[in-house]
Amino acid sequence: MKIGVLRERIAGERRVALVPDAAAKLIAAGHQIFVERGAGAAAGFPDATYEKAGTTLVADAAALSAAAPQLVVKVRKPSADEAAALPKGCALISLLTPGANEEILPALASAKITALAMELVPRITRAQSMDVLSSQSGVAGYKAALIGAAALDKFLPMLTTAAGSIAPAKTFVMGAGVAGLQAIATARRLGAVVSAFDVRGAAGEQVRSLGAQFVDPAAKAEGTGGYARAQTDDETAQNATIIAAHISSQDLVITTALIPGRKAPILVTDAMLATMRTGSVVVDIAAESGGNVEGVVSGETVLKHGVHLIGAANLPASVPLHASQMFSTNVRTLIAHLTAEDKSLKIDAADEIAGPMLITNAGEPVKR
């Protein structure tokens, strides 16, 4: 199978979908890899490393399309122009923002593209090694804790100095999924006193195992596949009372709550922010999906009631080398799953992994 690797063109996106090591393993498995020049440069993988791995470098996206790969891989959703330039009839593996990709569907249809969204890898045991959301969320949680610590006006750890003892900062993580758990672990390593909240009561054991306090929800909202479900208005109000009572004493708050395919839930209201001390910091990882904090602006830091509200955007791209390595492992494992015995690409809509990932099949939108 011929596989093409496109360079990312979205501003600030520094990751690459396939790193040289993964490319070499796919070549050893019998595939041909074509890489657009400069695709890995921002992630720390210059063209020479791809040449050494045995890939074929091509000048640009047009040249890659001319090589006629059966499969094209990239990190972020292509623009309408990028989608239109894909090889006719190929398959595409990428993050595709399901539910917010209408602008590229005509181009995918015209070129008869079979598109698989990495966000839709099912949460089953067989697909764990393909789960991009988990791998990249871990990066985001780690970086959110560092960003919060850097923006805070006080130390995170307890310090004993000649000038006296300094109490550790209090950090509150909202949402104890992969991102939240990594934020908890990182803040703990930095010496903060950490507490966490999640509407999934089962998350409490994981939070406590990291040495953090679990703030029990007043109303649980367990969903399927390990995710939380949307809360009713009454549940939201009950949990807001718990959050409001706890957040006022916190120095650093990190919010991570996401619901697949839906706008992020508001967990922190403007009134709650007003109770926090001047100089405290809130890092909202969910800002790109609407945000967990009222008034957050994706990609910007705003000051509200003396609180620094950071709308964290695309944090995995700020750790491009390791984020790319993990993303690449997810992609390589998926490719292995989609490879037939004769090394051709086999995408079966009835397959328990590929089926749920399909956005278009030979250009036709897949209805769910």
- Which residue of the set 110, 128, 249, 344 is catalytic? 128
Q: Which of 65, 134, 280, 325 is catalytic?
A: 134
Complete DSSP assignment for 259-322: -TTSPPPP-B-HHHHTTSPTT-EEEEGGGGGT-SBTT--TT-EEEETTEEEEE---GGGGSHHH
Which is the catalytic residue, given 21, 129, 213, 227? Answer: 227
User: Which residues 6+ apart lie within 8 Å of 327 measured at CB?
Assistant: 15, 17, 75, 132, 135, 136, 316
Q: Is 227 a catalytic residue?
A: yes
How far apart, in whole angstroms, are the C-alpha atoms of residue 215 and residue 307?
22
The pair of structure tokens assigned to 284 is: 């909202």
Residue 167 has what DSSP assignment?
A: P
Q: Rounded to whole angstroms, how far apart are CA atoms 88 and 68?
A: 8
Least Cα distance to 187 among 161, 211, 160, 205 occurs for 211
**137 a catalytic residue:** no
From 7, 76, 131, 198, active-site residue: 131
Q: Quote the distance between the C-alpha of residue 184 and its chain's center.
A: 17
The question of whether 238 is a catalytic residue gets the answer no
Do 335 and 344 touch, CB atoms closer than 8 A? no
Which listed residue (123, 188, 189, 229) is catalytic?
Answer: 123
Residues 107 and 84 sit within 8 Å (Cβ to Cβ): yes
Rounded CA-CA distance 106/310 in Å is 35
| Sign of torsion over alpha carbons 332, 338, 340, 345 | negative
Q: Is 80 helix (H, G, I), strand (E, B) or coil?
A: helix
For 233, the 3-state DSSP assignment is: helix
136 catalytic? Reply is no
Is 131 annotated in the active site? yes
- The set of catalytic residues is 123, 128, 131, 134, 227
